[in-house]
Chain A
Amino acid sequence: MSPNLSPAARDVLLAFADDEHMIGARHAAWIGLGPFLEEDLAFCSIAQDELGHAISLYEYLTNDVDHFALLRSPDEYRSSWLAEWPCHQWNESLVRHWLYDHAEALRWSNVEHSSVDGLGMLAARAEREESFHRDHAEMYLSRIADGDDQGRQMIEQAIAELLPVALGLWDPVAAEPDAIAEGVMAASSAELEARWSAAVTADLDRWGFAYSWPTERPAQSGRTVRSCHFPELQASLQEVIALDPTATW
């Protein structure tokens, strides 16, 4: 835990940490269920990377990562709805992985020169893993783009479902202007969103997937409101710790 962290820095790191935690947990649900063994291993490796990032970020905020990560009340989380979304189908998980990792790369590079101690180093380490994550997503989607109609349609369905949810990634926490003024992060969420939209639409146009850019956004209210899927997600995350919250591992 970093006792000197400002409230604004805490809010920004919390939103990032919760996103990494939820996306890592959602990706990890594919353990043993991936479309083929090698992909199962690769995707769960990615899940583990994201959970590792979450732990590193939570360590700025608490001395007891397990309790903090799992046992807060829902209104104390700051995750985006995209990270909470179930994506029980492989096409949905794949599209979410691509949307999220484009955003994640921008978020790490946005804190490369952060005023928060050690965050720049963490960002550099994460970026080495993230370049594999982006290559992985692109590898799949570009091949499906060159494939048959059925695959293309399934990807287009997932894009239609998830693009509107994904915009919530750029819903800033209330303290974001203070965090920028303090040098915690460089660009605002709105600026990152513009770069992200450009990258995402460039991919979609290159691959020739049909889409319409969403006009509505998730009602996350500065990330203070959880999606309807959060209770189920949190219950599954708490399954083990609930057996004995005082146990040490």
Chain B
Amino acid sequence: MRTYEVFLKKDGKDEFRHAGSMQAPDPDMALPLAREAYSRRGEGDLMWLVDRDDILSAQPDLMAPNSNKPHRHNDGKRVAAHRKSLREGTTT
């Protein structure tokens, strides 16, 4: 059996989203079985299957250095406060 990751997309501008994973003996059987497993209520108009073996998966070591970089988060509060002060003629 092979393991596949299933992605579904509804019509329109929505992106493909990961729906889950499933097993099937081969690609030809995977498609109809994936349809019944993940889109039997019409959850998707389009479907991608990716064999899990074809996924490039990053090691945690590669990801770890970026796990604590709060300075890269911009919630916009300081910019908003600055613009408000300009609007109201006060300075900060």
Q: List 19 A-B contacts (CB under 8 A).
A: A36-B1, A37-B22, A37-B23, A37-B37, A38-B22, A38-B23, A38-B24, A38-B34, A38-B36, A41-B33, A42-B32, A42-B37, A45-B36, A45-B40, A132-B32, A135-B32, A136-B32, A143-B25, A143-B26
In Å, the complex CA distance between A36 and B25 comes to: 11
A247, CB-defined interface residue at 8 Å? no
Chain A residue with the shortest CB-CB distance to B26: A143
A-B pairs with beta carbons under 8 A, tally? 32
Chain A residue with the shortest CB-CB distance to B25: A143
B5 → chain A, closest Cβ, in Å? 14
B58, CB-defined interface residue at 8 Å? no
In Å, the complex CA distance between A35 and B40 comes to: 19
A39, CB-defined interface residue at 8 Å? yes
- In order of increasing CB-CB distance, the 10 nearest A-B pairs are A42-B36, A38-B33, A45-B36, A41-B36, A41-B37, A38-B22, A38-B37, A42-B33, A45-B40, A139-B29
Chain B residue total in the interface (Cβ 8 A): 14
Q: A41-B40, A42-B37 are in contact. List 8 more A-B contacts (CB 8 A).
A: A37-B37, A38-B23, A38-B33, A41-B37, A42-B32, A42-B36, A135-B32, A143-B29
Grouping DSSP codes into helix (H, G, I), strand (E, B) and loop, the A interface class, with mixed when no group exceeds half, is: helix
In Å, the complex CA distance between A41 and B37 comes to: 6
Q: Indicate which residue in B23, B28, B34, B40 contacts A36 across the interface (CB closer than 8 Å).
A: B23
Chain B residue with the shortest CB-CB distance to A45: B36
Chain B residue with the shortest CB-CB distance to A38: B33
Q: Which of A7-47 contact B (CB under 8 A)?
A: 36-39, 41-42, 45
CB-defined contacts of B33 to chain A, threshold 8 Å: 38-39, 41-42
Chain B residue with the shortest CB-CB distance to A39: B33
CB-defined contacts of B1 to chain A, threshold 8 Å: 36
CB-defined contacts of B26 to chain A, threshold 8 Å: 143
A contact residues, range: 10 to 19
CB-defined contacts of A36 to chain B, threshold 8 Å: 1, 23
B41 → chain A, closest Cβ, in Å? 10
Chain A residue with the shortest CB-CB distance to B40: A45
- Residues of chain B having any CB pair with chain A under 8 Å: 1, 22-26, 28-29, 32-34, 36-37, 40
CB-defined contacts of A132 to chain B, threshold 8 Å: 32
CB-defined contacts of B25 to chain A, threshold 8 Å: 143
In Å, the complex CA distance between A136 and B34 comes to: 12
B8 → chain A, closest Cβ, in Å? 15
B29 → chain A, closest Cβ, in Å? 5
In Å, the complex CA distance between A41 and B34 comes to: 10
In Å, the complex CA distance between A33 and B43 comes to: 25
CB-defined contacts of A135 to chain B, threshold 8 Å: 32
In Å, the complex CA distance between A36 and B30 comes to: 13
CB-defined contacts of A37 to chain B, threshold 8 Å: 22-23, 37
A22 → chain B, closest Cβ, in Å? 22
In Å, the complex CA distance between A39 and B22 comes to: 10
B16 → chain A, closest Cβ, in Å? 20
CB-defined contacts of A136 to chain B, threshold 8 Å: 32
A15 → chain B, closest Cβ, in Å? 29
